[in-house]
């Protein structure tokens, strides 16, 4: 037969049964059960008042807890977490303070509250790591742009286009697109430019519709950006961390929004995108910004969007040529390949310090370099 387990409660009962007997030697019992006389008489007193119920363990929690979180504040924490299930203790604390609440508990306390209410998934919490990255010096110095994959909707697929200011992390655009064509991106960017103005530079990866690879970085879309006076940059091949802020933004976007949009109508998706973008920009505390929302660091660009594209004017010493349909230009009886994205556009050739080597400019933008000794044949 198995041995009965000895528990603290059974030990107490045995002690009491012996201690209440006639001529009980309390001192000896205390030595045997290894308890102090003070504890022994406390047990006896409780037993005489309450019976065996008085032998149960008593909570060591003080009857009053001056430092405890007030129930109304704890409720505010839980409600905000339920409203924003991806926000952690630091973000919730920053948001509650921004809402004017006084005596907001520390972020660690808020995390304890969330854990106590079963609102933290340990596996999900482990995925969130701080990223270290460079940062543009001012708003609108650099925007990052990319598509966040695509997902099924009621008819077709939704391709979320994201545009993010590098300095402030302000989400300038979150567009529900039906495809990833250059004409679609141009249409959506036009609306963003009209609202916020033009950036100095935009960074993209090497995929369509803004590039194909490092050797052919220009497309009709990026040529349009150059004509607007916006410099174009591409992330290094196989180095997506160059687009780190937009990649991190995409993780947040998936966690807080996109997974709830699958199967909806495109117009409904766009409505949810815009509502979430406003929350992200105006309310959501950002870890990399010292737990203030992106709007605190963003200012609209002073460079307005021109409704008419400017016409480049080249200097008298420039050798001006028109790029042909397939991206070829003629110079000194030879044919040179630039990029068919510039077809129909005028470019300027300027000599370098190396004899026979010329740089090709599209307005103020250097787009290529040609060598007279490396002219190519084409049909």
Confidence of residue 378 (pLDDT cuts 50, 70, 90): low
Helices 266-282 & 244-256 angle (0-180, nearest 10): 120
Sign of torsion over alpha carbons 37, 39, 43, 49: positive
For residues 190-219, give the mean pLDDT: 84
- What are the tens digits of pLDDT across the range 332-365? 888 998 888 999 999 999 998 888 899 999 998 8
> CA 47, CA 156: separation in Å to the nearest integer?
74
DSSP 3-state of 179: coil
| Its pTM surpasses 0.75 | no
- Backbone torsions φ then ψ of 215, nearest 5 degrees: -80, -20
| The two three-digit tokens of residue 42, written as one number | 């406390």
d(CA 217, CA 210): 7
Specify the residue for token string 């406390």.
42
Q: What is the pLDDT of residue 3?
A: 32
Average pLDDT, the chain: 82
Task: Give the phi and the psi of residue 342 in degrees, each rounded to 5.
Answer: -95, 10
The answer, yes or no, to whether residue 175 has pLDDT greater than 90, is yes
Identify the sign of the CA torsion 114, 116, 118, 122: positive
Dihedral-angle region of residue 291 (phi above 0 means left; psi in -120 to 50 means alpha; beta otherwise)? left
Q: Where are the domains positioned within the chain?
A: 8-55, 72-121, 143-297, 319-374
Share of the chain above pLDDT 90, in %: 34
Kindly report, residue by residue over 210-222, the tens digit of the pLDDT. 876 555 678 999 9
Cα distance between residue 227 and residue 309, in whole Å? 7
Cα separation, 100 vs 98, whole angstroms: 5
- If residue 108 lies in a helix (H) or strand (E), which one and from where to where? helix 107-116
The SS3 of residue 172 is strand
Structure tokens at 338: 């630039």
129: tokens are 């790591």
Phi-psi domain of 118 (left: phi exceeds 0; alpha: psi -120 through 50; beta: other): left
CATH topology for 143-297? Nucleotidyltransferase; domain 5 (3.30.420)
Could you tell me if 314 and 304 are in contact, meaning their C-beta atoms sit under 8 angstroms apart? no
């Amino acid at each position: 037969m198995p041995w009965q387990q000895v528990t603290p409660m059974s030990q107490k009962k045995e002690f009491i049964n012996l201690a209440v007997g006639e001529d009980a030697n309390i001192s000896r019992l205390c030595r045997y059960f290894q308890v102090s006389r003070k504890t022994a008489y406390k047990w006896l007193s409780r037993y005489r008042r309450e019976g065996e119920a008085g032998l149960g363990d008593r909570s060591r929690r003080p009857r009053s807890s001056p430092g405890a979180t007030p129930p109304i504040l704890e409720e505010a924490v839980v409600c905000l977490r339920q409203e924003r299930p991806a926000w952690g203790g630091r973000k919730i604390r920053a948001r509650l303070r921004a809402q004017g609440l006084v005596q907001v508990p520390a972020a660690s306390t808020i995390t304890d509250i969330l854990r106590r209410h079963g609102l933290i998934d340990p596996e999900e919490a482990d995925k969130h790591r701080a990223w270290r990255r460079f940062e543009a010096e001012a708003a609108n110095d650099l925007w990052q742009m990319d598509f966040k994959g695509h997902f099924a909707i009621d008819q077709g697929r939704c391709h979320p286009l994201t545009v993010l200011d590098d300095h402030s992390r302000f989400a300038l655009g979150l567009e529900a697109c039906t495809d990833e064509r250059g004409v679609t991106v141009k249409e959506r960017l036009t609306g963003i430019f009209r609202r916020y103005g033009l950036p100095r530079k935009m960074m993209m990866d090497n995929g369509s519709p803004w590039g194909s690879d490092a050797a052919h970085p220009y497309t009709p879309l990026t040529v349009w950006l150059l004509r607007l006076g916006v410099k174009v940059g591409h992330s290094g091949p196989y180095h997506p961390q160059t687009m780190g802020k937009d990649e991190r933004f995409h993780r947040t976007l998936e966690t807080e929004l996109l997974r709830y949009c699958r199967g909806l109508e495109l117009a409904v998706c766009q409505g949810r995108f815009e509502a979430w973008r406003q929350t992200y920009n105006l309310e959501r505390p950002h870890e990399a910004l010292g737990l203030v929302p992106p709007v605190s660091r963003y200012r609209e660009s002073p460079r307005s969007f021109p409704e008419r594209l400017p016409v480049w004017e080249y200097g008298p010493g420039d050798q001006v040529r028109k790029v042909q349909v397939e991206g070829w230009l003629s110079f000194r009886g030879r044919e040179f390949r630039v990029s068919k994205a510039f077809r129909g556009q005028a470019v300027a050739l300027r000599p370098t310090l190396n004899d026979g080597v010329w740089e090709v400019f599209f307005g103020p933008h250097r787009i290529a370099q040609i060598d007279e000794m490396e002219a190519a044949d084409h049909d």
